[in-house]
Structure 1
Amino acid sequence: MTTPSVLLAPGSLNPAFHACAVVPSHNHWRVVGDVVSGLRAQGIPVFVVDDGSMEPARSTLAALHDPTNGVTVRRLEPNQGKGAAVMEGIRLALAAGFTHVVQVDADGQHDQTAVPRLLALARRHPHALVTGRPVYDDSIPTGRAIGRWVTHVWVWIETLSLRIRDSMCGFRVYPLAPVAALTATGARIGRRMDFDTEIMVRLFWRGTPVAELPVRVTYPPDNTSNFDVLRDNVRISWMHTRLVFTMLARLPSILANRPPPLPSLDKPSHWAALGERGMARGLRICAAAYRLFGRRGCMAVLAPVVLYFYLTGTEQRRASHDFLTRAFAAKGMARAPGWRDGYRHFLSFAGRALDSFAAWTGGTKTGEVEPAEVDALRKAEASPRGALFIVAHLGNMDLSRALLDEETRRRLLVLVHTRHAENYNRLLRDFNPEAGVNTLQVTEVGPDTAIALKERVERGDWVVIAGDRTPVGGGGRVSRVPFLGEPAPFSQGPYILASLLECPVYLLFCRREAGRHRLYAERLTDRIDLPRGRRAEALDGCAAAFACSLERHALADPFQWYNFFDFWAPEGAGEP
């Protein structure tokens, strides 16, 4: 095969956006037909490059060749490596006049429903390399996960930037003009498993921006991996060594050509659009560290992990800074929050999760939570009738629930959006099935749910709902009331529900103070009435009262408020 640097001709590109797909394959045959048909169903021409496959993959791939229907199969003999296969596909795409190539692996790991979103982002930024940022499930091999982390760190060093958060994903859209220009220089690019990372770094050096889109990736049970643990790890290590020394030698030009930052995707305007970050495997590591080293030792173990999420969580980091800026100003502090404050905010959130985990798994004593202002709670306990408790993502109410005696805990019914922390809740249930008792998954409270909740309240149960999250389904059911100096949207849902339940309403907070947690309760009202003609006014008044209490507790320790999204964003600015 002729080297790509000779075959790629940058002058042959069509200036219009014209994309095809390249599917490199070596001995993958079980699902490659589905991958190709899925791409063709979206109207995307496909180049399949058979990289020296053996039977039965060879025959399966050859049978896919159907140029009249948009599928071209090219065979390389002998096997030359994934990078060489992708470059052969790019050469074919250039010769056919395409401007962009979607690289899709043949083993079915990638969620092909994300292809339209990748292409939409590429159309918006036609000069950028648009790459998937994998969101893995538990099927990823542990060794592969560790290796990816090592490569991430080296790429940050080689690019002197944190903009590339995953350089190893083989699910991406290449702009062919920059690729052609790069290969025309004769640059040596890895031809095997070192290809994906090296070409991305080298394109970044030459000014090609990178846009990332989260995509779901799974490792099928019968997946055939072409990754040679010894040889490919040596290749990747040598690649990083080569890139670091090249970066040092070309530092002035690399800095001069730094590409402008691009968004990884449209910023979600709703908290429910922010997926959980991390995997159950990481939580299990934390569990082991807690058992071995205790809270302080476990926090030391978590510190670099939290730093990674702080550095890479652009939107969460921005939201933290925005909130802390408002809180510092409201407290009359003369300085603005810096990166250390933001990191401390993230660490506090990690500590909150750790404390909850410890409580549910028997690592925390009942006296960890002390009563501070609980007269209202005592009245609720003495009443045979139930109540509605409104809580916030402040401090650690989950720890309070974990430490309740069994009888009191079963009196609670917590309305939660559990899929927002699915791995964490699943891990808790693995260690203690009681962690999932008396929680109800909700997005909207319909008539049937409201009737069931009313029956629970009449039996003396307590319904617990968060008051600092806007409705998951949108719909505008919010009150914009003052919070830290500016109107913010607070859900009307808790107060509408309270009016339907016809029960007392309490506010409940639990903050960590001097190494212990203290519980605060206050009675909001005996009953919420929503009179005709004054419904909106009544709802606004309830939301304002909750916001006032929340502000008081948030200012007591701003680092214990854990809403890492733009809380003041206009409601309805985008779909969740």
Structure 2
Amino acid sequence: MTSSSSPRWSQLKERGGLLPLNLMLLFYRLGGRKLCQLILYVVIFWYWIFASSARQASQLYLQKLHRFAGEHSPFEKQPNWKNSFQHLLQFGLCILDKIEGWLGRISEQQLELHGHEQLRAQYQKGAVILVSHFGNIELLRALKSEHVQKINVLVYQKHAAKFNQFLKQLNSHADISLLPVDELGIETAIYLQEKLDQGEWIIIAADRIPVQSGRVQAIPFLGCDANWPQGAWILASLLKVPVLAIFSYQFDRALHVYVHQLAEQLSFPRQTRCEAMQNIMRRYVELLEQHCIRAPYQWFNFYNFWNK
């Protein structure tokens, strides 16, 4: 249940819609990455000071991560306000990386690939790719730069149509389409099956509950129970295609893409449905925990994920 003092992500107001992206694109075209980085430091500092809920959520996440990782923690001591600023700054820089990805400025040669053969096997074939608000999924554009592969990203945002138009302005050959959905159900599955039959990929975030109340499963994340949406997993089981988990992010000044195959097909037998779903969801969360420990500042859910 969601606490009244800690709003769900969907209740948090979007600051400026697409205006920040358009401004960042303008600055990028005027002065390149260096000018954008300079501006980002100022903008993120202002945001860090006045967006107290995001700052507190960042610090909560970093502290939970530190305790959970123990001797493997990426921090020498308990994370504090300085770490939360660095966390928000990395979010700003990730937006800049996204713009370069949309513009096609990131090549496959710039990436450190892990498990790429599992992704390569799905070129021109239907697949469900599970992601989270971690890192920069736009790096997939560089991975498939030599392959014509249509990508559909399911989002719970009302401005998806405007964002699609924004992507076309950036790159007329953009092959990523945002599909707005209120919740994941049978109608959505039928529509997506047509996409998969055409050899397209479906990308679904496995860490956001639909705007309209959806079914959730409590699974420990960084040592404390958190609610994870079941919708992505139910949908993947209905579609009967390979299911991959992809984590793409910057680490040690390099761009890394990790591909994990979760299942050739997901199947949840009626008698053991809840247990089977919980097991695969827990496996995904454990993978996410590993990547959070490796690159703690790449987790971009700036609200109380645990609601506790």
TM bin (shorter chain): 0.7 to 0.9
Post-superposition shift, 1:437?
A: 4.0
Does the CA-based 8 Å contact 1:279-1:423 persist in structure 2?
A: no
User: CA separation of 1:439/1:341 partners in 2, compared to 1, >3 Å: closer, same or farther?
Assistant: same
In 2, Cα distance between the equivalents of 1:407 and 1:500? 27
In 1, Cα distance between the equivalents of 2:154 and 2:17? 24
Higher-Rg member (1/2): 1
Listed as ranges, the matches of 1:16-31 within 5 Å are none
Opposite residue 388 of structure 1, the aligned amino acid is V
Residue of 548, 563, 566 corresponding to 2:301: 563
User: CA separation of 1:417/1:402 partners in 2, compared to 1, >3 Å: closer, same or farther?
Assistant: farther
Does the CA-based 8 Å contact 2:102-2:138 persist in structure 1?
A: no
Structure 1 partner of 2:99: 357
Does the CA-based 8 Å contact 1:505-1:524 persist in structure 2?
A: yes
Structure 2 partner of 1:375: 117
Q: TM-score, normalised by structure 2?
A: 0.88
Asked which structure has the greater RCO (Cα within 8 Å, sep 6+), the reply is: 2
Q: Secondary structure at the match of 1:400?
A: helix
Is the aligned partner of 1:296 residue 2:34? yes
Listed as ranges, the matches of 1:516-527 within 5 Å are 516-527=254-265
How many percent identity over aligned positions? 35
Structure 2 partner of 1:398: 138
User: CA separation of 1:435/1:339 partners in 2, compared to 1, >3 Å: closer, same or farther?
Assistant: farther
Post-superposition shift, 1:435?
A: 4.6
Structure 2 partner of 1:244: none
Residue of 459, 463, 486 corresponding to 2:198: 459
| Farther off after superposition, 483-492 or 423-432 | 423-432
In 2, Cα distance between the equivalents of 1:446 and 1:402? 31
Post-superposition shift, 1:501?
A: 0.7
Q: TM-score, normalised by structure 1?
A: 0.49
Is the aligned partner of 1:336 residue 2:78? yes
User: CA separation of 1:402/1:274 partners in 2, compared to 1, >3 Å: closer, same or farther?
Assistant: farther
Opposite residue 458 of structure 1, the aligned amino acid is D
Does the CA-based 8 Å contact 1:376-1:521 persist in structure 2?
A: yes
User: CA separation of 1:422/1:459 partners in 2, compared to 1, >3 Å: closer, same or farther?
Assistant: closer
Opposite residue 490 of structure 1, the aligned amino acid is W
User: CA separation of 1:422/1:460 partners in 2, compared to 1, >3 Å: closer, same or farther?
Assistant: closer
Does the CA-based 8 Å contact 2:65-2:293 persist in structure 1?
A: yes
Structure 2 partner of 1:108: none
Structure 2 partner of 1:23: none
In 2, Cα distance between the equivalents of 1:319 and 1:404? 35
Structure 2 partner of 1:444: 183
Listed as ranges, the matches of 1:192-203 within 5 Å are none
In 2, Cα distance between the equivalents of 1:508 and 1:365? 18
In 2, Cα distance between the equivalents of 1:280 and 1:457? 29
- Residues 389-418 of structure 1: CA distance to partner in whole angstroms, max 9, x if unpaired? 1011111002323663375332x2221224
Does the CA-based 8 Å contact 1:402-1:435 persist in structure 2?
A: no
Q: Secondary structure at the match of 2:58?
A: helix
Does the CA-based 8 Å contact 2:55-2:84 persist in structure 1?
A: yes
In 2, Cα distance between the equivalents of 1:428 and 1:520? 25
Does the CA-based 8 Å contact 1:387-1:461 persist in structure 2?
A: yes
User: CA separation of 1:567/1:436 partners in 2, compared to 1, >3 Å: closer, same or farther?
Assistant: farther
Listed as ranges, the matches of 1:173-188 within 5 Å are none
Is the aligned partner of 1:316 residue 2:58? no
Does the CA-based 8 Å contact 1:328-1:337 persist in structure 2?
A: yes
Q: Secondary structure at the match of 1:393?
A: coil
Post-superposition shift, 1:515?
A: 2.9
In 1, Cα distance between the equivalents of 2:174 and 2:206? 21
Does the CA-based 8 Å contact 1:413-1:440 persist in structure 2?
A: yes
- Residues 440-490 of structure 1: CA distance to partner in whole angstroms, max 9, x if unpaired? 111212323211212322332221111111232113x11111211112111
Opposite residue 471 of structure 1, the aligned amino acid is P
Structure 1 partner of 2:218: 480
User: CA separation of 1:423/1:450 partners in 2, compared to 1, >3 Å: closer, same or farther?
Assistant: closer
Does the CA-based 8 Å contact 1:344-1:559 persist in structure 2?
A: yes
Structure 2 partner of 1:548: 286
User: CA separation of 1:305/1:389 partners in 2, compared to 1, >3 Å: closer, same or farther?
Assistant: same
RMSD between aligned residues: 2.5
Does the CA-based 8 Å contact 1:506-1:521 persist in structure 2?
A: yes
Structure 1 partner of 2:8: 270
Residue of 243, 246, 261 corresponding to 1:505: 243
Is the aligned partner of 1:389 residue 2:123? no
Does the CA-based 8 Å contact 2:129-2:246 persist in structure 1?
A: yes
Structure 2 partner of 1:431: 170
- Residues 332-371 of structure 1: CA distance to partner in whole angstroms, max 9, x if unpaired? 3452211111111111001111111122234444433331
User: CA separation of 1:543/1:568 partners in 2, compared to 1, >3 Å: closer, same or farther?
Assistant: same
Unaligned runs of 5+ in 1: 1-265, 571-576
Is the aligned partner of 1:493 residue 2:231? yes
Opposite residue 395 of structure 1, the aligned amino acid is G
User: CA separation of 1:305/1:499 partners in 2, compared to 1, >3 Å: closer, same or farther?
Assistant: same
User: CA separation of 1:464/1:320 partners in 2, compared to 1, >3 Å: closer, same or farther?
Assistant: same
Aligned length: 301
User: CA separation of 1:408/1:549 partners in 2, compared to 1, >3 Å: closer, same or farther?
Assistant: farther
Does the CA-based 8 Å contact 2:133-2:205 persist in structure 1?
A: yes
Q: Secondary structure at the match of 1:408?
A: coil
Q: Secondary structure at the match of 2:270?
A: coil
Does the CA-based 8 Å contact 1:283-1:424 persist in structure 2?
A: no
Q: Secondary structure at the match of 2:220?
A: strand
